[in-house]
Copies of this chain bind each other. A is one copy, B any other.
Amino acid sequence: MATDGHRDLFADWSATLADLSATGALLGWDRETGMPRGGAEARARQMGTLSALHHRELVRADAGEAIAALAEGDLDADTAAMVAWARRERDRATQVPEELVRELSEARSRAVSVWLDARPRDDDAAYLDGLRPVVDLTRRYAEAVRGDAAELSDALLDDYEPGATAGELEPLLDELAAGVRPLVEPATAASPPPLPEAIWPADAQVALAREVGAMIGFDLERGAIARSAHPFTTSIGAGDVRFTTRVDEADPVSNIRAVLHEAGHALYEQGLPERLAGTFAHDAPSLGAHESQSLFWENHVGRTDGFWRSLEPTLRALFPEAMGTVGIDRLARTSRRVQPSLIRVEADEVTYNLHIVLRFRLELALVRGDLPLDELPGAFDDGMEELLGLRPPRPGDGVMQDIHWPQGLIGYFPTYSLGHLYAAQLAETAAREAGPLSDLAAEGSFAPILDFLRRAVHSRARLVRTDELMRDANGAGLATAPFIEHLRRQYLREP
């Protein structure tokens, strides 16, 4: 039976872990936004120390006893979610032998170093040598946490998208690819050429990032925005959510896309209920759910004519010169440019999921033992040719383009596609409940859109799992049709 002692210990332990995570997040934020070069070595060690202390705290035996005692009792919905997520994370941490944790961490570090060195040299043999122990140890990790999962990959998927299984995802992503592929050619043909040359000064783009963030509801009193090489969002405790954007003086659209994407993540974090702060329930239930929010704002709001119209006065004020040569319609159309390309991170909304489908198929085959690692580069190139009609001319732009597999992120890629599918379903529901998103954006009415997301998604945090969260929000289960229909409307102007 749970005592007050159990409850106090559980609350303190949860809050301590949240503090350690937030502190680790600040170390990461500062590394990308403020740290001088000379700090790199000490920073790596500091982040390692914080992770080790987090792990040590997570696996504390008395916390396990408190969880077990609490789980036996009659719990309100909030506490039930906190206890269930805590048990899940602690169990994962205790099921993996320490020796394996250490080996995996070392193999990942080594694989990333090798990747950094081998990619510019197109040395796929070195890349595969670095990757091999990561794949082997990740399979051993999956065995350790497998439980009663139907296959090994399910254990890996579960780390990023709790509840997802390869058995369900495989046909879903095949259907997604089949739906997308016929649209690529007509969408490409309907695309505008690149923007005419103009200078969009960096300082004004930083100011623009703040304007766009504030415009859609990001609270700058409870967050901050900075520049970094690669945009990201991080939460440094409730009340302090930050994101970065990239700035390219030749291209304001890239900055605005990044801001909308990261602000989507950040609005989710700012919308999590304060009463859950410092507990295991104060988070999204999955990466797919989180990505649904970034992609919602980036793709379903940020590529509409209405959004660009409402941004026009801000752009004219900040970029009087460039806006003298580039009209707002041109910017809006540029935001919807489609062009099959080799590099996933540069892909447009139409072709992006084809990159994901390829990676998901390959990692599934690797984990199932259906694809020998040596054959991965060739299989990658064949898949690119089949799905996107492009054959990478060199491995650095092929299988070696992503850092994720060397980092040990296997089972992570499909959360991007889930994000696209969930975002399209949520956008349909939002439009039904609040009105056409482009029209709302044109009027500067972003609040009804955010209100819908707050109510349907953010406020529910981890109180339910992703499938239930999305079914409640949309009145329907996960499907590809809303996304495909959205692409047809947005890129082929079908009604």
Contact = CB atoms under 8 A, between A and B. Distances in A.
A30 B30 contact: yes
Interface stretch (A16-24, A98-106, A289-297, A355-363): A16-24
Contacts of A223: 36, 38
A53 interface: yes
Interface string A443-456: 00000000000000
A68 to B, nearest CB: 24
Nearest to A34: B224
A479 interface: no
Given A30-B26, A49-B20, A50-B23, A42 B277 contact: yes
Contact of A240 (B35, B240, B277): B35
- Tier of interface size on chain A: 35 or more
A19 B39 CA distance: 12
Interface stretch (A204-212, A231-239, A483-491): A231-239
B30 A238 contact: no
A38 B43 CA distance: 26
Contact of A53 (B53, B221, B240): B53
Among A22, A23, A278, the most chain B Cβ lie within 10 Å of the Cβ of A23
30 contacts: A15-B45, A15-B49, A16-B49, A19-B42, A19-B46, A20-B49, A22-B42, A23-B49, A26-B26, A30-B30, A30-B236, A34-B224, A35-B236, A35-B240, A36-B220, A36-B222, A36-B240, A37-B222, A38-B219, A38-B240, A39-B237, A39-B239, A42-B238, A42-B240, A42-B277, A42-B278, A43-B237, A45-B278, A46-B237, A53-B53
A4 interface: no
Interface string A318-342: 0000000000000000000000000
A27 interface: yes
A74 interface: no
Nearest to A15: B45
Nearest to A53: B53
Copies in the complex: 2
Given A26-B26, A30-B30, A36-B223, A236 B42 contact: yes
A375 interface: no
Contacts of A238: 42
Contact of A37 (B41, B50, B221): B221
A368 B245 CA distance: 58
Interface string A370-389: 00000000000000000000
Interface in A225-247: 236-240
A216 to B, nearest CB: 17
Given A26-B26, A26-B27, A46-B23, A34 B36 contact: no
A41 B224 contact: no
Contacts of A39: 222, 236-237, 239-240
Nearest to A226: B34
Contacts of A23: 23, 27, 46, 49-50
Given A15-B45, A23-B49, 20 more contacts: A16-B53, A19-B42, A20-B49, A30-B236, A34-B34, A35-B224, A35-B236, A36-B220, A36-B221, A36-B223, A36-B239, A38-B239, A39-B236, A39-B239, A40-B239, A42-B236, A42-B238, A43-B237, A45-B278, A46-B237
Nearest to A20: B49
Interface string A237-261: 1111000000000000000000000
A237 B42 contact: yes
A189 to B, nearest CB: 46
Contacts of A15: 45, 49
Contacts of A239: 36, 38-42
A418 B23 CA distance: 36
A45 B30 contact: no
A224 to B, nearest CB: 5
Contacts of A53: 16, 53
A184 B16 CA distance: 53
Contacts of A30: 26, 30, 236
Contacts of A22: 42, 46
Given A23-B50, A30-B30, A50-B19, A221 B42 contact: no
Contacts of A236: 30, 35, 39, 42
